[in-house]
Amino acid sequence: MKITLAQLNYHVGNFDRNSRLIIDTINQAENEGSDLVVFSELSLTGYPPHDLLEYREFIDNCNRYLEIIAGHCLSTGAIVGAPAINMGESGKKLFNAAWFLTDGKIKDVCFKSLLPTYDIFDEYRYFEPSTDFNIIEFKGKKLAVTICEDLWDEQDFDHDFASSRMYSISPMEELAKLHPDLIINISASPFAYTRTESKKEIFTAKAKSYRLPLIMVNQVGANTDLIFEGNSMVVGPNGNIISLFPDFREHTESFELDNIIAGDNNSFNKAGKISMIHDALVLGVKDYFDKMEFNSAIVGLSGGIDSALCLCIASEALGPSRVRALLMPSMYSSRHSVNDAVELCNNLKVSYDIINIEDDFRSIESSLSGIMKDMPADTTEENIQARIRCILLMAVSNKFGNILLNTSNKSETAVGYSTLYGDMAGSLSVLGDVYKTDIYRLARHINKKSEIIPINIINKAPSAELSPGQKDSDSLPDYDVLDSILYQYIEQQKPVRDIKGEKVSQELVHRIIDMINKNEYKRFQAPPILRISNKAFGHGRRMPLVAAW
């Protein structure tokens, strides 16, 4: 049996585009003599469709396009992910399903059993978990078709509180009783730099445990905040990885089942953490703009490292002609910050404008002088500057149709070191899941071949430049210390007493966690954040705004 794996980039709700991708791949596979083409989870709808699943018209479209796709499966069969209506008398309206299409018809269907309801997943909101397990028989082979989480029944987590075994049933254990010849897993598994190796281990362990060849097809691309890295794979019955598909790009390849069974382990060049984060962010920005049909982006450029990195990523994702920068120095901005920002724009060939905000600030200061008479300057004046910049950025955005990108990083977002209706503005947060220490690593990665980001931007002490001589270190610990505390608390969910590290005292831990908790209301109003970790701010981390904790 010759099997084609199709790692493709889908667009949520775009049935014309998604079905065309699927049909073109089926036709190509048929021309190459492939027996079966495998697509990813919910490939027809795109993942995740969220509450679109509650519209009957949406489901009717799924069914209509499935019939169209089936009409192209003549000598070649296909496994396509799409919802299925629950015909039972009870339960949710839908199943998350893998449809088997062949001979021009819909021939069979398998339903997902394990529905994730953690982190960014909320599948039980829409789908009924299946308790029936069936094998698909095709061309003399028995296929055990599983859907993503159905092979993730023994996950390990990074923190102690969660159980290492999340589910009471193992779909593969049930399917193994039917003596399959091949495990097929269709996935929609988002990227997280902390989970790339553990994902591989899940599939290699399953293949080895059941002594069966395994193929896993994941999707690639970005839908809003979720980024899918691909990394589809072919695994031999000894747990040996025979093929690992590339990161962050579409890829289609065919394999003979006999060769998978007999194949040797192959070695693969592993991309490093920073390289993968960089590629994920570029893809996240590109797909956000292309799928939303936005033409161009604007970035507020301060001469600092966050906005510099954001501009580089936007320029790579969209091309420099689709990006513009706005420099808005104040009376506290150093001349070298403005010069560094201009140099960066010239290096990237990005157009820019400079608007000094000092007169605007003085005007507002004068307007408020009667109310704030004789009161000392504090963060109020700093926030006024940030909000003036927001007004200018949004004015340019409205006038020229440039979509504003937010430049805040995860470290600052965590502790509230940002201004509501100021530097928190934007339609998409590019760096909101990237810690400050990784911001510097990403900048050096971009400069690996040549100095694109001026070295002054990387080397100077971080500062918002909103008051005389201001430095981030005036109110925050060094970022390597801060990020260590944040990572242990947010990603690893450690108890306060267990958060340790060099220069980390319990007093400091309590102060930082207090800052995190008190600024939840700010993050609630933040733009969607491109997710590159296993615990990003947003709908994957649902904390109460009003809580005594």
Which residues are catalytic, by number? 41, 112, 148
Q: Is 14 helix (H, G, I), strand (E, B) or coil?
A: coil
Cβ-in-10-Å burial (0-12, 13-18, 19+) of 376 comes to exposed
Kindly give the pairing relationship between strand 2-7 and strand 251-256.
antiparallel
DSSP type of residue 492: S
Give the Cα separation of 301 and 392 in Å (integer). Answer: 12
Peptide bond into 48 cis (omega under 30): yes
DSSP for 166-222, written as a single string = --S--HHHHHHTT--SEEEEE------TTTHHHHHHHHHHHHHHHT--EEEE--EEE
CA distance from start to end of the chain: 58
CB 97 within 8 A of CB 111: yes
Neighbouring-strand partners of residue 398: none
Compute the distance between CA of residue 96 and CA of residue 91 in angstroms, rounded to an integer.
13
Kindly list the distances between the CA atom of residue 379 and the CA atoms of 301, 392, 508, in Å, as whole numbers in the listed order.
21, 20, 22
Taking residue 449's Cβ as centre, other Cβ atoms within 10 Å add up to 7
- For residue 163, the surrounding DSSP H or E stretch is none
Polymer length in residues for the chain: 549
Residue holding tokens 């690639």? 220
Closest residue by Cα to residue 221 from 64, 365, 6: 6
In order, the DSSP letters of 249-268 are S-EEEEEEHHHHHHPPP---
Three-class HEC string of 291-321: HHCCCEEEEEECCCHHHHHHHHHHHHHHCHH
Query: DSSP label at 112?
Result: -
Give CA–CA dist 428/404, Å, rounded: 8
Tell me the two tokens of residue 515: 């800052």
CA 430, 433, 435, 441 torsion: positive or negative? negative
